[in-house]
């Protein structure tokens, strides 16, 4: 049974089709990579799923419930959380408070944070390797630390589906390796993952399946190795001149 | 991390010490100032402005700058004055009603202004003040228009067991009344800012889209912070009316009561609890005791200069700067 289902999802900005008739579904427990060159429509797809934008046509179903026209905070309550391409920390608040916000508002609201909220926020900071920075204002963290904080905050809301937008962009190879471990540990918590990964450094290693987009259209989906051999994907990434060379990366 | 705990505990102890010292000073002030009514009047007004700055900051902490709080101040003052004058109700009953009407006006303001952000929101609130002002100015039957209201009932004495506080009859009584109100508001604001409500307000201020993505209903919380802020501003306005015992639209709806709380909150530290009140308790007396005698006509120049300097050199406010990035936090346990 699919957890997330996209039915003929389209989005038009002005005269430009950012996404065209995307059909796709993700099963509970899967890790799916969303790949494609700049402007392929990856972030637009995330914005439609999280209801930041309204689709021009088509539907989004989450856990068999239509969510196409929900509000962003409602979609979170149903169990979808996300991180952002350029991370969006609550800059003047401590790293710990950032995660506590996710914990408190992702669940049922209560007026005062309980020690369990703070303990679980601490555990998540530990998970993403920021335990020693808990009192640091989030705005003072490095870019990679802010990305990990974004992840901890999103996890704190206890999502069923987590959308990661370019979580390793600009990471060193060593940091990407850590991120691979991290994503696997997140999956062990029972979270389904949908990962935007322009440079494929993460998704090729962790994904069960890939969805490849180009110019708003689905060019391929399937197991990572199959998708990477797909001519449309190679063309999208490398252009036609290199089409004769059989593999891309 | 045990080491961190001890440093933050030390910081807390230091802050408690300072807070106790400040409180002792304020409690004993009437003893020192008993030969000067003027000193006592200035500090009573400074405390009133401190409550105004706190009330303003309830909205400020959620990231909205209002230039229209005089609307709530005036509405609270007029509501309480009219109800007590015309219906003969006790000011203790009418003052909270002043807060309620101010919150009602804030709800209308929110309907129009809350979809705006930043400078647009500030300008819209500035324009909004004209609505209650014009109504008050022209509804002669109810408000006596620009003639103003005179002879407002003073605040009745308070009795606590055998202790008796003559609130309106003596300057000392008025002083202690405003001080008590200030302390109550301090406790409420501290609880509010350190609760999850405060967490939501700050998250919205810092990053609205992320706040929404973690499940915060942004507009609902922005409205809530506006209503709470207006409610306490209205209460302060009502108290002000019963303390000075006359009202006119130009006075209570003036730019003064919109700008002053903002100036104090920004200079003291918009994202802190104590900052706005500290600024009120320092800047207003400095203005009255030093600048006023020096420059009787242009003493308010001080406020202009201070806000420019503050924005240039300590954009997070003096208190915020001293605390270096440690703003209201539910976890550090600091009292700000």
Residues of B in Cβ contact (< 8 Å) with A96: 329, 331
The predicted structure's pLDDT at residue B313: 82
Quote the pTM value.
0.89
In a domain, residue B312? The reply is no
pLDDT for residue B330 is more than 60: no
Structural domain range at position B184: 42-267
Long-range residue pairs from B23-32, CB within 8 A, at least 24 positions apart, any chain: B26/B179, B26/B281, B27/B179, B29/B175, B30/B171, B30/B172, B30/B175, B30/B176
* B62 at interface of A, judged by CB pairs closer than 8 A: no
Q: What is the mean pLDDT of residues B243-256?
A: 93
* A203 at interface of B, judged by CB pairs closer than 8 A: no
Residue of B nearest to A77 (CA): B215
Residues of B in Cβ contact (< 8 Å) with A52: 209
* B334 at interface of A, judged by CB pairs closer than 8 A: no
The per-residue pLDDT for range B132-151, each reduced to its tens digit, is 999 999 998 898 888 889 98
The predicted structure's pLDDT at residue B299: 79
Closest partner CB to B215 (pick from A94, A105, A137): A105
The predicted structure's pLDDT at residue B7: 54
Q: What is the mean pLDDT of residues A95-99?
A: 94
* B146 at interface of A, judged by CB pairs closer than 8 A: no
pLDDT for residue B22 is more than 70: yes
The per-residue pLDDT for range B232-245, each reduced to its tens digit, is 999 999 999 999 99
Q: What is the mean pLDDT of residues A6-19?
A: 94
Closest partner CB to B199 (pick from A72, A104, A134): A104
A197 or B328: whose pLDDT is higher?
A197
Interchain contact, B196 vs A153, CB within 8 Å: no
Structural domain range at position A66: 1-30+40-80+205-218
A98 and A147, same domain (yes or no): yes
Q: What is the mean pLDDT of residues B177-203?
A: 94
The per-residue pLDDT for range B66-77, each reduced to its tens digit, is 999 999 999 999
Please tell me what DSSP assigns to residue B158.
E
Residues of B in Cβ contact (< 8 Å) with A112: 194-196
Chain A: nearest CA to B318, how far in angstroms?
16
Chain B: nearest CA to A156, how far in angstroms?
9
B171-194 and B218-244 helices, crossing angle to 10°: 170
The predicted structure's pLDDT at residue B127: 94
A56 and A121, same domain (yes or no): no
* B86 at interface of A, judged by CB pairs closer than 8 A: no
Q: What is the mean pLDDT of residues B254-278?
A: 89
Interchain contact, B212 vs A72, CB within 8 Å: yes
Q: How many domains does chain A have?
A: 2
In a domain, residue A235? The reply is no
A143 or B106: whose pLDDT is higher?
B106
In a domain, residue B204? The reply is yes
**Mean of per-residue pLDDT scores for chain B:** 87
In a domain, residue A50? The reply is yes
A91 and A111, same domain (yes or no): yes
Q: What is the mean pLDDT of residues B251-272?
A: 90
Rounded to 10 degrees, what is the CA torsion of B155, B156, B159, B165?
Answer: 60
Domain boundary residue, one of A141, A158, A175: A158
Q: Using pLDDT thresholds of 50, 70 and 90, give the confidence band for residue B4.
A: very low
Q: Using pLDDT thresholds of 50, 70 and 90, give the confidence band for residue B335.
A: very low
* B204 at interface of A, judged by CB pairs closer than 8 A: no
pLDDT for residue B267 is more than 80: yes
The per-residue pLDDT for range B41-55, each reduced to its tens digit, is 999 999 999 999 999
Most A-contacting residue of B224, B328, B331, B336 (CB-CB within 10 A), to test interface:
B331
Residues of B in Cβ contact (< 8 Å) with A77: 215
Residues 6+ apart with CB under 8 A from B330: A97, A100, A113, A118, B194, B195, B196, B198, B199
The per-residue pLDDT for range A25-43, each reduced to its tens digit, is 999 999 999 999 888 999 9
Q: Give the dihedral sign, CA A171/A174/A178/A183.
A: positive
Q: How many domains does chain B have?
A: 1
A90 and A111, same domain (yes or no): yes
What percentage of chain B carries pLDDT values higher than 90? 59
Q: Give the dihedral sign, CA B273/B277/B282/B283.
A: positive
Domain boundary residue, one of A142, A158, A174: A158
In a domain, residue B104? The reply is yes
Q: Using pLDDT thresholds of 50, 70 and 90, give the confidence band for residue B328.
A: low
The predicted structure's pLDDT at residue B327: 52
* B219 at interface of A, judged by CB pairs closer than 8 A: no
Closest partner CB to A72 (pick from B213, B330, B331): B213
The predicted structure's pLDDT at residue A249: 43
The predicted structure's pLDDT at residue B336: 39
* B325 at interface of A, judged by CB pairs closer than 8 A: yes
The per-residue pLDDT for range A144-199, each reduced to its tens digit, is 899 999 999 999 999 999 999 988 887 888 888 888 999 999 999 899 999 998 88
pLDDT for residue A242 is more than 70: no
In a domain, residue B294? The reply is no
Residues of B in Cβ contact (< 8 Å) with A105: 196, 200, 203, 214-216
In a domain, residue A186? The reply is no
Whole-Å CA distances, B60 to A126, B161, B196, B238, B261: 33, 39, 16, 22, 10
Whole-Å CA distances, A177 to A132, A154, A183, A191, B159: 21, 21, 10, 20, 70
Q: What is the mean pLDDT of residues A124-138?
A: 93
Most A-contacting residue of B194, B210, B219, B228 (CB-CB within 10 A), to test interface:
B210
Q: Using pLDDT thresholds of 50, 70 and 90, give the confidence band for residue A241.
A: low
Q: How far, in Å, CA of B250 to CA of B256, rounded?
A: 10
Chain A: nearest CA to B58, how far in angstroms?
16
In a domain, residue B313? The reply is no
The two tokens of residue A192 are 């389904």
Residues of B in Cβ contact (< 8 Å) with A72: 209, 212-213
**A14-28, B115-129, B160-174, B190-204: range with lowest mean pLDDT:** B160-174
B303 or B324: whose pLDDT is higher?
B303
In a domain, residue B244? The reply is yes
Q: What is the mean pLDDT of residues B316-335?
A: 58
Chain B: nearest CA to A151, how far in angstroms?
11
- What is the SS3 string spanning A45-94? HHHHHCCCCCCCEEEEEECCEECCCCCHHHHHHHCEEECCCCCCCCCCCE
The predicted structure's pLDDT at residue B9: 67
pLDDT for residue B6 is more than 90: no
Q: What is the mean pLDDT of residues A99-125?
A: 89
Q: Using pLDDT thresholds of 50, 70 and 90, give the confidence band for residue A108.
A: confident
Contact at 8 Å (CB) between B128 and B66? no
The predicted structure's pLDDT at residue B161: 74
Contact at 8 Å (CB) between B107 and B223? yes
CATH number of the domain where residue A52 is located:
3.40.50.300
- Nearest C-alpha neighbor of A50 from the set B254, B214, B301: B214
Q: Where are the alpha helices (DSSP H) in chain B?
A: 2-32, 37-60, 70-87, 91-113, 118-128, 130-138, 140-143, 171-194, 196-206, 208-213, 218-244, 249-252, 255-268, 275-286, 292-294, 301-313, 318-322
A17 and A75, same domain (yes or no): yes
Q: How far, in Å, CA of B200 to CA of A226, rounded?
A: 45
């Amino acid at each position: 049974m699919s957890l997330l289902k996209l039915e003929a999802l389209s989005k038009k900005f002005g005269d430009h089709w950012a996404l065209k008739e995307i059909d796709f579904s993700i099963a509970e427990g899967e890790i799916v990579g969303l790949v494609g060159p700049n402007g392929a429509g990856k972030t637009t797809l995330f914005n439609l799923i999280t209801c930041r934008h309204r689709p021009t046509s088509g539907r989004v179903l989450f856990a068999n419930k239509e969510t196409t026209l929900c509000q962003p905070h409602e979609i979170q309550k149903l169990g979808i959380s996300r991180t952002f391409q350029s991370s969006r920390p609550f800059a003047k608040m401590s790293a710990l408070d950032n995660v506590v916000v996710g914990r408190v508002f992702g669940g049922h609201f209560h007026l005062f944070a309980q020690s369990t909220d703070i303990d679980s926020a601490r555990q998540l900071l530990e998970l993403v390797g920021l335990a020693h920075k808990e009192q640091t204002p989030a705005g003072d963290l490095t870019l990679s630390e802010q990305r990990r904080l974004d992840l901890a905050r999103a996890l704190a809301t206890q999502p069923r589906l987590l959308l990661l937008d370019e979580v390793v962009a600009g990471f060193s190879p060593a940091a990407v390796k850590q991120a691979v471990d991290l994503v696997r540990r997140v999956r062990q918590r029972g979270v389904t993952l949908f990962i935007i990964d322009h440079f494929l450094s993460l998704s090729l290693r962790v994904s069960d399946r890939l969805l490849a987009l180009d110019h708003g259209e689905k060019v391929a989906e399937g197991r990572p190795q199959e998708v990477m051999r797909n001519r449309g994907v190679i063309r999208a990434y490398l252009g036609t001149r290199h089409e004769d060379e059989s593999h891309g990366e | 991390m045990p080491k961190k705990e001890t440093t933050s505990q030390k910081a807390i102890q230091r802050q408690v010490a300072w807070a106790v010292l400040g409180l002792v000073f304020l409690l004993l002030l009437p003893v020192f100032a008993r030969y000067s009514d003027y000193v006592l009047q200035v500090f009573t007004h400074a405390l009133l402005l401190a409550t105004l700055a706190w009330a303003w900051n309830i909205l400020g902490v959620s990231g909205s700058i209002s230039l229209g709080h005089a609307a709530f101040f005036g509405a609270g003052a007029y509501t309480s004055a009219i109800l007590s004058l015309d219906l003969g109700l006790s000011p203790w009953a009418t003052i909270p009603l002043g807060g309620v009407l101010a919150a009602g006006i804030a709800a209308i303001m929110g309907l129009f202004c809350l979809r705006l952000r930043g400078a647009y929101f500030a300008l819209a609130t500035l324009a909004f003040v004209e609505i209650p002002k014009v109504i008050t100015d022209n509804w002669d039957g109810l408000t006596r228009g620009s003639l103003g209201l005179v002879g407002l009932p003073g605040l009745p004495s308070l009795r606590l067991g055998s202790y008796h506080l003559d609130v309106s009859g003596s300057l000392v009584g008025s002083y202690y009344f405003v001080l008590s109100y200030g302390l109550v508001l301090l406790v409420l604001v501290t609880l509010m800012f350190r609760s999850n409500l405060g967490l939501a307000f700050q998250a919205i201020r810092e990053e609205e889209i992320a706040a929404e993505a973690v499940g915060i209903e942004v507009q609902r919380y922005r409205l809530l912070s506006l209503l709470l802020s207006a409610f306490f501003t209205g209460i302060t306005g009502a108290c002000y009316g019963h303390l000075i015992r006359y009202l006119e639209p130009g006075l209570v709806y003036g730019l003064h009561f919109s700008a002053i709380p903002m100036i104090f909150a920004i200079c003291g530290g918009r994202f802190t609890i104590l900052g706005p009140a500290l600024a009120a308790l320092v800047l207003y007396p400095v203005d009255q005791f030093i600048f006023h005698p020096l420059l009787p006509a242009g003493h308010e120049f001080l406020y202009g200069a201070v806000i420019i300097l503050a924005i240039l050199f300590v954009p997070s406010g003096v208190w915020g700067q001293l605390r270096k990035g440690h703003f209201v936090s539910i976890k550090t346990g600091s009292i700000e």
